[in-house]
Structure 1
Amino acid sequence: MRQIVLDTETTGINPKLGNRVIEIGCVELVNRKLTGNNFHRYLNPDRDSEEGALAVHGLTTEFLADKPRFREIADELREYIRGAEVIIHNAPFDLGFLNHEFRMLNLPAFDEHIGGVIDTLVQAKELRPGKRNSLDALCDFYGISNAHRKLHGALLDAELLADVYLAMTRGQNSLGMDIEVEEVTSGVDLAQVALAEILVVRAAADEVAAHEDLLNGLDKAVKGTCVWRTPA
């Protein structure tokens, strides 16, 4: 499965007021593995950033003056994200801007080119109701270093969000096995047949040690005792 973790920086908070996308950062995951096939562009918005936005991302009008316009990278972006499931933190914000940029070019909306959206802010609120669920807060919770994040940057934030997403969804892969059972006409109990084929393999000493290291890391991340140490 191909997924794209995406973040943008903008000149302000509302595209309907003329604000534009000035940076796009995308990180590719294939089967939950980082591939290194990332997409990153700075963009000239032909306008200044609002004061509040500039304080967040630090991308000045002077820095962006020689960068391409959105229309110059739109086809490249469309090809890169085509059909992928896109992972965004607070998806309505980024999608609102990207859809607006595409429509200004008389193109189908951004979200018509992709294979679905995962909003990690929604996921985090479900997992941590009542808690702060900003990207910084989630990095702290999952033990992901963001010490180098002085200002917001689309590619850096996408890389951090990829780590957060993988940590947040760890263990959600299916643990079941698809077992094909040939049709049986002899009256044999199929449940007993399936049960008979289950093998129990004890963990080796090094595997036990690795598991303990993982639990210690989870304890550190939650600053206490993780749920996996709690007796059932």
Structure 2
Amino acid sequence: MKLELKAVKKSYGEHLALKGVSLSLDQTKCLTLIGPSGGGKSTTLRMIAGLETFDSGQIAIDGYPIPSEERDLRAYRKTIGVVFQSYNLFPHLDAITNITLPLEKVHGFSKDEAIEQANTLLARFRLEDHGKKQPSELSGGQNQRVAIARALAHDPKLILFDEPTSALDPEMSAEILDVIEELIDLGKECVIVTHQMGFAKRASEHVAFLAQGQVAEIGSSSQIFDDPRSPELKRFLERELKY
């Protein structure tokens, strides 16, 4: 994946969330965004996902700018898979329908094709016995695995994870991080927002440190964690890795 952000700005009312985010990676399989809360990580991820438009600047993936027209933006979103921190599953639908519904309504799968794909993914993530259960009947880790299955079902070009373990206990977090790491090992390109520094160091190819709405430092995983250059990143890692 080639990823480029040029002076991307985003405001919510009077609050300037992104103050000119810029980064350029010629080739990366996995980029992780780290930094303090409110630094702009999730906002940047939502811009890359095409879920929100930016006020100015440009984002391009593999040389193609993310479109601004709604019709083109809808087509772009179909090439992306997103996993949110709060699962975002339909609470009144069972696990298999949470996967098949977008396949049928958004991606043009037939009902039989959607069911076959959903069953394949449920089995892959050890959920074959839970397909008829609603989210309230599943654990947090199971719900997040359903969400990952849904994000992967249409074989997206790029998958984005926004704090995928923040609502989970340590055991369930480890379970989900193992799943994500497996996807990375299989070659799935991704961008991840996480506070799990050990995972970020191990799984990422590149890491960007965002603070106060800007990219304060970017580099390979080993450079960011083993040889941080900015005082802000050094302080952040000291706090995050203290315990």
TM-score normalized by the length of structure 1: 0.21
Normalized per residue, which structure has more strand?
2
Larger relative contact order (C-alpha < 8 A, sep ≥ 6)? 2
TM-score by length of structure 2 reads 0.21
